[in-house]
A and B are shown apart, each in its own frame.
Chain A
């Protein structure tokens, strides 16, 4: 039973560029949430996708956008990268929206120079 997978593992981008991160949910899950974790901090909720729509959003600017595909996989896009966007980006999946247990992937480490 495959768990949550994320790609790429590491990424280095230059300020002002755009980046796309990918996530495949755990088998049987249909909801994907994205989190940003800065060094030494707890993860911060970015947004959640269910039925190919953004259902809930945290306190992040419009530079952060996403997409969910019919197979439930998801992408996180960040435009006009800032140095402060350097972080570990975590994807979590769950079955249905709401207060259900979330399973996390290994994360993508993004470095903006």
Chain B
């Protein structure tokens, strides 16, 4: 059974940093691209970042470029999102999502971890 379990969320002040993690199991992690998708409270879904299975290709939405960095450790079946210079508008539930087709389709999602940016 495919499982994705996020951790690392919490309350942080504006300008602060957090590192999110996603532990994957039940599939061959190194065979899949992975993504972070976020959802602000009461709002819709926003794709944030994606990383190719061997980390050769990395993409971020413009609003987080220069502040967020996606990475992965295939040996540990783990995905990460380093978030720096956090802003109030980054407040959201952050979901880890497996990518079935090389950046096209999010076929499995974790339960999400809440990041709150507030003073």
A, B assembled together: no
Give the interface of A toward B (CB within 8 A). none
